[in-house]
Structure 1
Amino acid sequence: MSRQPAPATMDAEALAPLCKLDRHDDLSLQDQIRRAVVGAINSGILPAGTRLPSSRKLADSLGVSRNTTLIAYQKLIADGHLESRQRSGVFVASAGHPVSDLGMQVISPRRSTTAAAAIRQIDLAGQRGREFSFPPDWQSFRYPFLEGCYDRSLFPIVEWREASRLALAAQEVATWSIGSGEADDPYLVDEIRSKLLPRRGIAARPDEILITAGEQQALHLAMSVLASSGTVVGMEEPGLPEMRTLIEQRGSRRVSLPVDDDGLIVDESLSECDVVHVTPSRQRPTAVTLSRARREALLAQASRDDFVIIEDDFECELNYLVDPLPALKGMDETNRVVYVASLSKVLEPGVGLGFMVAPPEFIAAARHLRSIASGRPSPNNQRAAAFFLSLGHYDAMLRRLSAVFEERLIALRDALNHYRPLSIAVAPVRGGTTLWIRADSELSTRQLIRQAQSRGVLIEPVEDYYTSGAAPTNVFRLGVTSLPAKRIRDGIAALSDAMLATTGPEGEQERHLQVLADEDMQARLSGLTLHYRTVYGEPCTIRLNPDGTMQGRAGSAGEDFDQGRWWTEDGKWFRQWERWAFGETLSFYVAIDDHQIFWLDSDRIVRDTAVIIEPSDE
């Protein structure tokens, strides 16, 4: 009778390096040990029948208590990965070893010349989408002005855990796990139609709502229903590269529709379209809002010229600077708008839920396509989201996000207006999380990105949002989703230095300006009124009183008021506001040319300018 070979043994010194315990990890030490052992089993490092070191020996090697390794072993045994043999020890269970160790032959498919040729003929250029991607280590940069990268503190971990726990209660699992076919969770549908849609002025029946795996899937389904070869699709320029790819994949013809500071320009170029994709709440990428007049004109033209509108309601919840405008879908009286949105962008990356609102026939077609492609989104996630909404967590989260992003966006605007890097203009926004920055024509964004990164600043170029070759070279985006308010000012100061380094210190304007002496400043500036615009487009008026006080009003109605003092000393002009410019004392050289005043820094670089209104002109 032949003897059975002795089982292989993994000693503690060999197993310990595989565990790589991290005491700062969110996982407990027991769970880290479990994860390491399961990984070693699945990769074949621990074949079936391997004897593991005792819990005491492993604990000594790892520098942890014996209870830690004992609990880890017990859980692995309970899960069937390990087995305990009386008076023999702990072994890798037979059921736990990988398929590659079962003696099964791995069969490689025969090479197909036809298939290989087909793969080579795929037009990867049409599938490319975005060329720019955030650096994988973006969190290591001190000033990441990136939209869409969220700091972890914004996710409502405790509230989502509660909603998930409720969704996994036995009676809830019994409800959502036996749902029929492709039907969405009726509780989530009801929460959306009763809580989210009324805020956008939308009334919808349950059969007019479809849950999707995020906003992007909703856009894909909408295009799959509406567009085909020969369809003419209009999209904003600049606009989403993902939408451009969807149009190309459908074989449709694309029409670029220009955007200005009031959003999509509504004109006769729309008349040739069958479908129009628009982002009215927060235009992507410029962040401007489609005005009410343009919304009404767009709906009227859609009815007249018989085209369908896909309304991509991006960041509709973050209108905190002014009152929000109603959604196009809420204003639509002819059922021509397909409404697409998602739960908050902070939730979407992890939860992956969006929704679509359209006529019942459209929803039925989209549901059928969804069933073919991917099936309905996770019923468990749908029920958790329903609880998240019904318990008020969603509203609480939005209030918190609005406060956080409002603070950050205003901090960004104030910092830009304070440092005024070169000559820049900011597209007007009503809220949201991004600013669209237009700089001097001589600025190269590509060079600026390199200069900024060397200072720890990340900004987003805009080439991906334009048709090939049509992007301006002096425009970039700044976002605040990933950057705390307390670091924004220093980040803009660093960006300002990068812009100056990119364009060089000298310019024609600086060379011919003659700075004023103290006595000339006192005589020329006393009693003047100065008019200029902030970098974000609002008018501002400053009154320099002869007694050294000054008053300022900003905003379309002069609603933002501040006061301060000014004086001259050692050939420089000093100013200090109570609130504006962070309440700090700043000094400049001053030059006057015709009816313009110029403030220059210590390097004689123009940092600000205003139009002079003489006392006799007022």
Structure 2
Amino acid sequence: MPIPPEIFLLPPNSTATLQQQVQQIVAEAIVSGRCLPGEKMPSSRKLAEHLGVARITVTVSYTELVADEYLVARPRSGYYVADTAPTRPRFDSPAPVDRRGVDWAAKLTRPVQQRGDILRPPNWSDYRFPFIYGQSDPALFDHANWRACALRAVRKRDFDSLAQDRYQHDDPMLVEFILRHILPRRGIHATPDQILITMGGQNALWMIAQLLLADGQIAIVENPCFPGLRRIFDQMGYVGRSIDVDHQGLPPDLIPPEAQLVFTTPSHHAPTNVTMPLERRIEMLARAARHDFLIVEDDYEFEMSFRSRPSPALKSLDQDGRVIYLGSFSKSIFPGLRLGYVVGDQTLIEEMRKLRTVVLRHPPSHIQRTTAYFLSLGHYDAQVARMARHYGQRRAIMEEGIRDHGLTREQGEVLGGSSFWMRAPPGVDTTQLALDLRRDSVLIEPGSAFFARRAPDRSHYRIAYSSIAAPRIAEGMALLAGAIDRAAEGAGAAR
């Protein structure tokens, strides 16, 4: 007797196609044991009538389930649950015991240290005026060509190699493109054994800190700086030494001679976006050679430059191999990609490769190959050009809003990036300001998360234009300015 079609129901509010939904409900019924091996499935006509879908939808779904070995087709008889169909293991219920629970607070030997993160709600895209950094604008992304590259990456010719465990090795096509096309734009020349693919910049910073920092050593970080770096230090139980940046970035003359490692963002300082001038870069390299310290150069977002060409990377000026260079595709392709790279001395890269293997072996091969195709077929350059064009337009609108509303920029020479570093009037708490602005569907990022604990700061905030469409910027800026005026009046009255 066939299985009654009434046991199958399509899931409500599903975003999957009808064919995918039919496959899912049939597969779930088989795996859960509601449909047993050898039982006959409802005919495609009856199941289609019950579900309210086209008969061809059910027929194609059944065919796919046969290919996945959930079903078998018998000529002139129909479809049956396969004897080899996967099922969930069943276990006898254990006898009841006195459960006192586990004191996990006592069990965790190294709990994750809590540090204030950038104030940003997870549903940021629901807000009308999201002046937040680091998120992509779907309207600017080349979905069609990324999809084509993803399909190309799983063709049999590619998939045979991608399906293998590469152990410590990266996709040679991606490495080759980075070496021949990405790095030369920054004046950097390297060999394959001097590059490592990472799961984004944060992953690279963690590995570097693990390998190059120990108790008693001194690491220099910029203040303010990327909050993720300080979180890495917190988890290690390590305290970095902060140096306040000025309108030209990190001052080399303030780096102490006893420093072992310096973390810097010279092209676009995080978060102020100021660019370190060439003279200061040369001075920093000379000081590194004189006092024998290493430099970690995080060259995030170097593609977003609003002059004819970006400033040369520190790594391109390095003659002694002291600079460890970090790059990322998170801002230029999309944040969820989580793919970056490190360029450094062969000895360091070998050790980083070993450490990476302990945690994740290598980033997923199909993601690397898809990215390699996206780069090599010219889609990446086209996307960067499109983003730069739109960002330039948005930047101009935002600059006009800053001037018209009398808002205060806290920046020196800014040659690129996708945000502005701002200062609120005296007495205005930007953390509270950010929370108040949410009522007007406006999102900004208060600056407190970027500063060292020794120098708490609630007067700065960041506004970005990567995530907001140009037509909405002016209205959002007016709402921001109005909220700042009200907060400033309240702060004045309180004094």
Relative to the length of structure 1, the TM-score reads 0.72
Question: Structure 1 CA distance, aligned partners of 2:304 and 2:158?
Answer: 32
Q: Could you say which structure has the greater relative contact order, defined with CA pairs below 8 angstroms and 6 or more residues apart? A: 2
Matched residue SS, 1:263: coil
Q: Which amino acid aligns with 2:483?
A: A
Question: Structure 2 CA distance, aligned partners of 1:375 and 1:408?
Answer: 40
Partner of 1:74: 63
Change (3 A) 1:342 1:450: closer
Q: Which amino acid aligns with 2:140?
A: L
Q: Note the residue ranges of structure 1 that are not aligned, 5 or more in a row.
A: 1-5, 509-618
Equivalent residues in 2 for 1:204-215, closer than 5 Å:
204-215=190-201
Q: Which amino acid aligns with 2:64?
A: K
Q: Would the aligned equivalents of 2:420 and 2:464 in 1 still touch at CA under 8 Å?
A: yes
Q: Any idea what the Cα deviations from partners look like across 1:195-241, whole Å, max 9, x if unmatched?
A: 00011111111111111222222112222221122221111111122
Equivalent residues in 2 for 1:152-551, closer than 5 Å:
152-177=138-163, 181-321=167-307, 323-420=309-406, 423-428=407-412, 429-468=414-453, 470-504=455-489
Matched residue SS, 1:503: helix
Among 21, 45, 48, the alignment partner of 1:32 is: 21
Change (3 A) 1:214 1:55: same
Q: Would the aligned equivalents of 1:214 and 1:353 in 2 still touch at CA under 8 Å?
A: yes
Question: Structure 1 CA distance, aligned partners of 2:133 and 2:490?
Answer: 30
Count of paired positions: 491
Matched residue SS, 2:257: helix
Post-superposition offset of 1:477: 0.9
**Worse-matched range after superposition: 467-476 or 137-146:** 467-476
Question: Structure 2 CA distance, aligned partners of 1:344 and 1:113?
Answer: 41
Q: Would the aligned equivalents of 2:136 and 2:334 in 1 still touch at CA under 8 Å?
A: no
Post-superposition offset of 1:372: 1.6
Post-superposition offset of 1:260: 1.9
Among 19, 23, 31, the alignment partner of 2:11 is: 19
Question: Structure 2 CA distance, aligned partners of 1:41 and 1:262?
Answer: 64
Larger radius of gyration: 1
Change (3 A) 1:143 1:84: same
Partner of 1:573: none
Question: Structure 2 CA distance, aligned partners of 1:344 and 1:473?
Answer: 28
Matched residue SS, 1:471: coil
Identity %: 34
Post-superposition offset of 1:41: 4.7
Matched residue SS, 2:325: strand
Matched residue SS, 1:504: helix
Q: Which amino acid aligns with 2:215?
A: S
Question: Structure 2 CA distance, aligned partners of 1:129 and 1:506?
Answer: 27
Q: Which amino acid aligns with 1:463?
A: S
Post-superposition offset of 1:115: 9.1
Change (3 A) 1:280 1:35: farther
Change (3 A) 1:506 1:80: closer
Question: Structure 1 CA distance, aligned partners of 2:302 and 2:205?
Answer: 16
Matched residue SS, 1:99: coil
**Between structures 1 and 2, the one with greater strand share:** 1
Post-superposition offset of 1:113: 11
Change (3 A) 1:175 1:446: closer
Question: Structure 2 CA distance, aligned partners of 1:467 and 1:119?
Answer: 30
Question: Structure 2 CA distance, aligned partners of 1:292 and 1:489?
Answer: 35
Post-superposition offset of 1:114: 11
Q: Would the aligned equivalents of 2:62 and 2:71 in 1 still touch at CA under 8 Å?
A: yes
Matched residue SS, 2:58: helix
Change (3 A) 1:460 1:40: farther
Post-superposition offset of 1:247: 2.3
Matched residue SS, 2:401: helix
Question: Structure 2 CA distance, aligned partners of 1:55 and 1:133?
Answer: 52
Question: Structure 2 CA distance, aligned partners of 1:109 and 1:336?
Answer: 60
